[in-house]
Structure 1
Amino acid sequence: MTGLRERKKRRTRGALIRVAHELIVTRGYDDTTVDQIADAVDVSQRTFFRYFSSKEEVALALQDETEAGFYEAVRDRPAQESPIRALRNALDATWDHFGEAITEIVPIGLYMRMWQVIETTPSLLAAHLRRSTETEARLAALLTAREGLSPDDRRPRVLVASFTGVMRAAGREWGEGEDVTVEAARRTMDTYLDLMAPALSDGWSRR
């Protein structure tokens, strides 16, 4: 059973994330400060830094958690699935449980608007891509171990780079649109991933 102190810490962390999202969505990332976030939650700057090392970290906290959930979903896929099928099924599983984890901290609509801000703010997008590189390396290592491959085998890295690159391209298209719903994001990503194999084939139809 979670103790009172731990529950209080989780509430404070959640409040900092929620307020950071609200301020960034309303004012923009560059015009939001750590002091504004801390003041809105009625905590000191020192308390803020107990939970997050920077404004960047609090802004990307839920994105980091979503990526961690995707990694865990890949890890839990049945061994008989091919690597590409494991990635795709893990993504589907992550989408299915997506709302439950997010809404414990922020309303889903706020999360989706924040995701759109990340996709359309160069400095924040660059930070997100830098952090995502670590997840991609872990995924490649996971697939290498899962398939019993040599560490020198480049196929897991190529597959993960292709898969996550397609997801990023879909995210950019979705982020530039007007429909910020979960359904629209998932639909766009599914459309892109469905085109992945045909796009990598030798023959392209010129219809």
Structure 2
Amino acid sequence: MTGLRERKKRETRLALSRATIGLIVERGWDEVAVEDIAAAANVSERTFRNYFSSKAEAVAASHLERALVVADELRTRPATEPLWPAVVDAARKSLSGAPDSPRDEGHMERVKLVLAHPSLHAELLRADDIAKDELAAAIADRVGLDAERDLFPQLAASVATAAIATAMRHWMVNDPNGSVIEALERAFTEIGRGLPVPEGES
């Protein structure tokens, strides 16, 4: 169970991350300084730097927090619930608390530009690794396996995090005015079916 102090730190990280993303989407990556982010979040520059070493790390923190919520939520699910429905519900909860998706196409294009920034790539990979380890630990606890020695928890965590990321990317690119939850559920449905090749494709 996450302690109060750790929860407060995560809340501060998320607030700083969202402030960073909002400013960069509005102004552009190179037009936002740490002092701007600190002012928007009503904290000192020192506080920002206590949490993040760069704007890229701050942007990636929202992605990481969303993934950590999946592990947190999975640990709260009833022990009698089958694993994959529990994972899907945990993933659904992690996305339901996100800010409302923007409806302006120009805004979405700016979001995509932010996510494509070269300096963000390594930070997102690092966030993915941390998130997969946390989710693997939660899965291992649930099914009575060792998160490091047994293959299944790591494999299941990798599949789940890939499904969530793919669903979000598909939603942003193809249907940002629609529901990200629907894209998520479609992704897990296809995984549950064993990923059969759709008719007409090879």
Instruction: Percent identity, please.
Output: 31
CA radius of gyration, larger in: 1
- Within-5 A mapping of 1:76-115: 76-96=76-96, 98-99=97-98, 108-109=100-101
- Within-5 A mapping of 1:21-100: 21-38=21-38, 45-96=45-96, 98-99=97-98
Mean Cα deviation higher: 131-140 or 191-200: 191-200
> Take 2:31 and 2:155, find their aligned partners in 1: how far apart are those partners?
38
* Counterpart position of 2:6: none
Q: How many residues align?
A: 186
Paired residues of 1:170 and 1:192 also in contact (CA < 8 A): yes
Q: TM-score, normalised on structure 2? A: 0.71
Structure 1: gaps (5+ residues): 1-8, 103-107
Paired residues of 1:95 and 1:186 also in contact (CA < 8 A): yes
2:160 aligned with 1:159: no
* Counterpart position of 2:3: none
Secondary structure of 2:179's match? helix
Shift of residue 56, structure 1, vs aligned partner: 2.4
Shift of residue 25, structure 1, vs aligned partner: 0.4
AA matched with 2:26: T
* Counterpart position of 2:179: 184
Shift of residue 74, structure 1, vs aligned partner: 0.6
> Take 2:114 and 2:149, find their aligned partners in 1: how far apart are those partners?
34
Point out 4+ residue stretches in structure 1 off by more than 4 angstroms.
9-18, 39-44, 112-119
Change in Cα spacing, 1:115 to 1:89, as seen in structure 2 (3 Å) is farther
* Counterpart position of 2:5: none
What's the CA shift string for 1:59-87, capped at 9, x where partnerless? 23333332222211011111122222221
Shift of residue 120, structure 1, vs aligned partner: 3.6
Q: TM-score, normalised on structure 1? A: 0.69
Change in Cα spacing, 1:147 to 1:194, as seen in structure 2 (3 Å) is same
2:128 aligned with 1:132: yes
Shift of residue 46, structure 1, vs aligned partner: 3.1
1:175 pairs, out of 168, 172, 182, with 172
